[in-house]
């Protein structure tokens, strides 16, 4: 099946009274394989949604969006929607938010007819195609697992397989490598290389150089809602995805209360801990001491239990009978809320739980209450602390803006600010730099490094070694349900 061509002429998009895209004109011929670049908040996700018909251009009287096939025939969007597939963080979060916890095989099968929920049982060629995709993307062993029991990276692979199951003519991928381990990235890169040899039209947004498919010849760069570059992709990928120096940092003393004594007791002590998800053992016989002043990385493949261990430390995942977990300053039997008011937490699941109507300020202030959402309006003192935390992560947005109007990476920065507003004694961070562009990654790394030197303990789960700060010298490596401790 041939790909779709898309033409946008003088298209603008206004969301919440703010102009997100400004008079964008771009022609994507059928069969184009295009890389989409730009900083956090530049408008990449919204451009993908415009290309796919999920957003309608703001009426100006001059805008035009059209689709055509390989023969040049113009086609109606209404008849094309079943042939357009989109994969991105927002769609993945939707499954978590609505508790769509179907089996992996059933979710991939929904892509054949473009439904969100399983409505029909597949047979014949459709069923064979789904089975082939499960094998090709390394999901066959997981086919009977329920979606919400999977790791973030495993869920991403499921949704990529689902998008391909419908044999789309236009495939829109919004940072598809996010959350993938090395083996999963290799599987996706192999699939992208295969797609680059087909007539399928593909547009892929990326923030890291290693996420840019080598077979994609064209690059678009968005800057402040406008097309800043449209041309060959080789040189521009190096320029736009290269690491950038950190922005100027605030004094870490603003985030760490004066006079705080550095504790001499371990942050956490785990003995013979076993962790389960959906009645399945994830980690067994875990003996681990997070000593006073130590900074740790948690590493392992998708599904090895990194998020489960961090969730256990924070108090979201219970330990099985027979194990013990001691948290500093948290006597057994006391309420976990007191612990969560002292420890900052960031995870993809937490980001998925936030309601679209919550403002940036409300999201950050909720960190002071260890809650999702607020029962009352923030006080003046809480608002001031939220603004200082927002400044610390370098995000220059109106605190009153709804988080739904921010890019996925900007929302991750808001969650980091939510963790910092506590002035925490420790930070438990699950892939904190996912979705951030190079300048923001450099900025947040420098900020975490400054906080570590100021006495804030770090426990960070990350797939990219470059996401870890130099103060981290200890690694909890997870594989096959077991943990191994080593020096970094």
Specify the DSSP class assigned to residue 164: H
5-241 and 252-487, same CATH topology? yes
Burial of 298 (0-12, 13-18, 19+ CB in 10 A): buried
Query: Domain 252-487 maps to which CATH number in 3.40.50.720, 3.40.50.300, 3.20.130.10, 3.20.20.140?
Result: 3.40.50.300
CA quadruple 466, 468, 474, 477: dihedral positive or negative? negative
Percent over 90 (pLDDT), the chain: 75
Euclidean distance between CA atoms 315 and 337, whole angstroms = 9
Cα angle 304, 308, 313 (rounded to 5 degrees) comes to: 135
Query: Which CATH number is 5-241 given?
Result: 3.40.50.300
Q: Looking at the predicted structure, is the pLDDT value of residue 258 above 70?
A: no
Per-residue pLDDT tens for 103-125? 999 999 999 988 888 888 888 99
Q: What is the pTM of this model?
A: 0.93
**pLDDT at residue 259, as a whole number:** 65
Kindly state the helix (H) or strand (E) to which residue 380 belongs, with its residue range.
helix 380-392
Locate the domains of the chain by residue range: 5-241, 252-487
DSSP letters, 28-81, are E-TT-EEEEEE-TTSSHHHHHHHHHTSS-PPP-SS-EEEEE-TT--EE-HHHHG
Strands 64-68 and 5-15, by their bridges, are antiparallel
Mean model confidence pLDDT for the chain: 91
Quick count: other Cβ atoms within 10 Å of Cβ 124? 7
Q: Looking at the predicted structure, is the pLDDT value of residue 249 above 70?
A: no
Tell me the pLDDT band of 256, cut-offs 50, 70 and 90: low
């Amino acid at each position: 099946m041939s790909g779709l061509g898309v033409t946008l002429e003088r298209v603008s998009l206004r969301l919440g009274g703010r102009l997100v895209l400004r008079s964008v004109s771009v022609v994507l011929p059928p069969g184009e394989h295009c890389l989409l670049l730009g900083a956090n908040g530049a408008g990449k996700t919204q451009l993908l949604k415009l290309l796919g018909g999920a957003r309608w251009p703001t009426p100006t009287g001059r805008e035009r969006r059209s689709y055509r096939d390989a023969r040049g025939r113009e086609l109606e969007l209404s008849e094309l929607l079943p042939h357009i597939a989109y994969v991105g963080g927002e769609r993945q979060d939707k499954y978590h938010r609505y508790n769509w916890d179907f089996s992996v095989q059933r979710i991939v099968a929904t892509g054949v007819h473009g439904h969100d929920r399983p409505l029909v049982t597949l047979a014949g060629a459709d069923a064979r195609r789904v089975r082939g995709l499960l094998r090709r993307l390394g999901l066959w062993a997981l086919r009977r697992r329920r979606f919400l029991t999977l790791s973030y990276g495993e869920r991403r692979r499921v949704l990529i397989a689902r998008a391909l199951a419908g044999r789309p003519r236009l495939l829109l991928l919004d940072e598809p490598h996010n959350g993938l381990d090395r083996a999963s990235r290799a599987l996706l890169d192999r699939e992208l290389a295969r797609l680059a040899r087909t007539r399928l039209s593909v547009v892929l947004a990326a923030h890291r150089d290693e996420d840019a498919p080598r077979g994609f010849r064209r690059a678009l760069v968005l800057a402040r809602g406008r097309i800043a570059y449209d041309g060959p992709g080789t040189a521009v990928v190096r320029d736009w995805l290269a690491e950038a120096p950190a922005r100027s940092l605030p004094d870490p003393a603003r985030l760490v209360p004066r006079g705080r004594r550095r504790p001499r007791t371990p942050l956490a002590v785990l003995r013979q801990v076993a962790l389960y998800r959906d009645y399945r053992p994830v980690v067994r016989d875990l003996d681990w001491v997070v000593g006073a002043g130590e900074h740790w990385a948690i590493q392992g493949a998708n599904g090895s239990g990194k998020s489960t261990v961090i969730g256990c430390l924070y108090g979201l995942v219970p330990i099985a009978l027979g194990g013990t977990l001691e948290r500093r300053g948290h006597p057994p039997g006391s309420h976990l809320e007191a612990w969560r008011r002292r420890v900052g937490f960031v995870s993809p699941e937490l980001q998925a739980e936030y309601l679209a109507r919550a403002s940036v300020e409300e999201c950050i202030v909720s960190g002071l209450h260890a809650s999702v959402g607020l029962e009352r309006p923030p006080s003046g003192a809480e608002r001031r602390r939220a603004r200082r935390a927002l400044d610390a992560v370098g995000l220059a947005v109106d605190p009153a803006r709804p988080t739904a109007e921010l890019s996925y990476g900007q929302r991750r920065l808001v969650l980091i600010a939510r963790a910092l507003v506590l002035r925490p004694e420790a930070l438990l961070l699950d892939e904190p730099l996912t979705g951030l562009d190079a300048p923001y990654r450099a900025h947040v790394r420098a900020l975490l490094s400054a906080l570590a030197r100021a006495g804030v303990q770090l426990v960070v789960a990350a797939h990219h070694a470059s996401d870890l700060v130099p103060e981290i010298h200890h690694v909890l490596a997870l594989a096959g349900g077991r943990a191994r401790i080593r020096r970094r």
